[in-house]
Amino acid sequence: MTGSSAIVERLRTAGCVFAEDEARLLLEAANGRDHLEHLVEQRGQGFPLEHILGWVDFCGSRMIIRPGVFVPRRRTEYLVRKAAHLVAALGKPEAVVVDLCCGSGAIGAAVSDLVGGCELYAADIDPNAVACARLNVQPRSGHVFEGDLYDALPPRLRGRVEVLVVNAPYVPTDMIALMPPEARLHESAAALDGGTDGLEVQRRVAGEAAEWLAPGGALVLETSSRQAAGTARVMAAAGLAAEVFVEDEDGATVVVASIP
């Protein structure tokens, strides 16, 4: 490997669509020729670029990403914007925001950035994700907990959460095998598998949401266009009023639910 053109060719041969951009980023990240060779080899083997670099550009900030942790998608920036809009509408300097199923913590961190700060909490069941989330959330004066959904949260938050933002796994189990190798081989299965119909974790989130939401609070949850109607029915079955929002440019679908 003698220069950027050779790297671009190797990446293109490996199937990298944005080979030129990726080559530039790998060159910037490398500490010498041997390290660069290692990075390019990893990318050629299908490791996610974000895991190799150690960060992802999300909502205008570099969020830290550790190997094995779910990489936030560009479409999820719409989820962040919807949540931030709801926080801003409260007109409170320290609104209570919870990022449940937080993964890297990038969603909660980005909401905090957009609104200029909030009382931020995040939780995930995966210890590796929790360790990563602390690197993104704690610098924003937030708190990260490890555990299964609401069990991870401190009891003092019950009835105080003003915006509950959730990107729970929503891929049906039998569809995971059809996902790109970067996701199904290198991201935690717990961050992908939504159960038989893809809605199992969403049901659990919705089932206890009313106990944790403050009066006038909202649950903001990402789903897919194909499952939006099912997600709305899940919210209704839990006694929540739900509305579906779609952002066509990035193919994003978000459901906002609240206590009637």
pLDDT digits (tens, 9 = 90+) for 12-36: 888 888 889 989 999 898 898 899 9
**Cα(39)–Cα(193) distance, integer angstroms:** 29
Is a pLDDT exceeding 50 seen at residue 1? no
On whether the pTM is more than 0.85, the answer is: yes
Give the position of tokens 């007109």. 91
- Which is more confident, 250 or 61? 61
DSSP state of 136: H
Per-residue pLDDT of 93-116, as tens digits, reads 889 999 999 999 999 999 999 999
Indicate the pLDDT class of residue 3, thresholds 50, 70 and 90.
Answer: low
- For residue 123, what are the contacts with CB-CB under 8 A and spacing of at least 6? 98, 99, 100, 101, 102, 130, 144, 145, 146, 147, 149, 152, 153
The model's pLDDT over 169-215, given as tens digits with 9 standing for 90+, comes to: 999 999 999 998 889 999 999 999 999 999 999 999 999 999 999 99
Q: Which of 248, 257, 256 is nearest to 75 (CA)?
A: 248
Mean local confidence (pLDDT), 135-140: 98
Closest CA to 191 of 126, 106, 143, 144: 126
Q: What is the pLDDT of residue 228?
A: 95
For the cut 80, the answer to whether the pLDDT of residue 2 exceeds it is no
CA atoms within 13 A on the CB side of 237: 13
pLDDT attached to residue 240: 98
Mean pLDDT, all residues of the chain: 94
pLDDT band for 229, please (50, 70, 90 cuts): very high
